[in-house]
Amino acid sequence: MSAKTPSQGEEAVGQPGINRREFLTYAWGVAMGLLAAEGGAATYFFLLPRFRAGEFGGKFQLGPTSSLPPPGTLPPVLSTAGKYWLVHTEVGVKALYQVCTHLGCLYKWSESNQRFECPCHGSKFTAEGDYIEGPAPRSLDQFVVEIVQDGVVVATTQETEDAIVPPAVRGTPWALSAQVVVDTGRRILGKPAAKSPARRAG
CB 118 within 8 A of CB 107: yes
Cα–Cα dist 151/115, whole Å: 35
Measured over the CA atoms of residue 73, residue 76, residue 79 and residue 83, the dihedral's sign is: positive
44 pLDDT higher than 80 = no
In this structure, what DSSP letter does residue 138 have? Answer: B
CB 142 within 8 A of CB 94: yes
Which residues, 6 or more positions from 47, have their beta carbon under 8 angstroms from its beta carbon?
none
Q: What is the pLDDT of residues 100-115, one digit of tens each?
A: 999 999 999 999 999 9
What confidence tier does 159 reach under pLDDT thresholds 50, 70, 90? Answer: very high
Cα–Cα dist 67/161, whole Å: 31
How confident is the model at residue 187, as a pLDDT?
A: 95
How confident is the model at residue 66, as a pLDDT?
A: 86
In this structure, what DSSP letter does residue 104 have? Answer: -
Q: What does the longest C-alpha to C-alpha distance in the chain come to?
A: 113
Q: What is the pLDDT of residues 164-194, one digit of tens each?
A: 999 988 888 877 789 999 999 999 999 999 9
Plot region of 69 (φ>0 → left; ψ -120 to 50 → alpha; else → beta): beta
Where do the domains of the chain lie, and which CATH numbers do they carry? Answer: 59-195 (2.102.10.10)
Cα–Cα dist 56/50, whole Å: 11
* Beta pairing partners, 156: 146
* Mean pLDDT (whole number) for 135-140: 96
Q: What is the pLDDT of residues 68-98, one digit of tens each?
A: 888 888 999 999 999 999 999 999 999 999 9
For the chain, percent of residues with pLDDT exceeding 70:
85
